[in-house]
Amino acid sequence: MKPYLRVATYIGLSIVFTACSSNPPATLALQKENHEFEVTGLGKTAVIAKNNAIIAANKTCARQSAIIRSENTSYHGLFKNVTDEQTGQSMTAAAEILGGILGRSSNLQRDDDYQTTLTFYCQAK
């Protein structure tokens, strides 16, 4: 009976921790002059960071449309000041492959490697 309880506990904890790590961090919009807003989206990739910023902009505008004035995406990964972005991604992929072969997790990629900042205003649909 105890081995089943232990396995069920491990499965339950892994589901709880997976659910917590998969939710994107909530970002708040900063209001600037001339009815403009600024939001920042974070993500493991540039696309995820942009999507998180767009979701935050759409939530800010609610029933209106978000009209983007400017967009800036930057890389803040582990290898930012050591190598360029492409080399850093290659090193991260190689470390993940090597970690998979050796049975160890290398987890060099973080949820905030990319940062996208959107400046936008809300317009009626």
CB-neighbour burial class of residue 50 (10 A; exposed 0-12, middle 13-18, buried 19+): middle
Higher pLDDT, 122 or 82: 122
Q: What percent of the chain has pLDDT over 90?
A: 32
DSSP assignment of 102-120: HT-------TTSEEEEEEE
Q: Which tokens is 58 given?
A: 């759409």
User: What integer is the mean pLDDT of 69-74?
Assistant: 92
Higher pLDDT, 116 or 78: 116
Q: Which tokens is 61 given?
A: 């505008």
Planar angle of CA 54, 45, 111, nearest 5 degrees: 90
- Cβ 55 vs Cβ 24: under 8 Å: yes
Planar angle of CA 69, 124, 65, nearest 5 degrees: 50
Q: How confident is the model at residue 78 (pLDDT cuts 50, 70, 90)?
A: low
Q: How confident is the model at residue 14 (pLDDT cuts 50, 70, 90)?
A: low
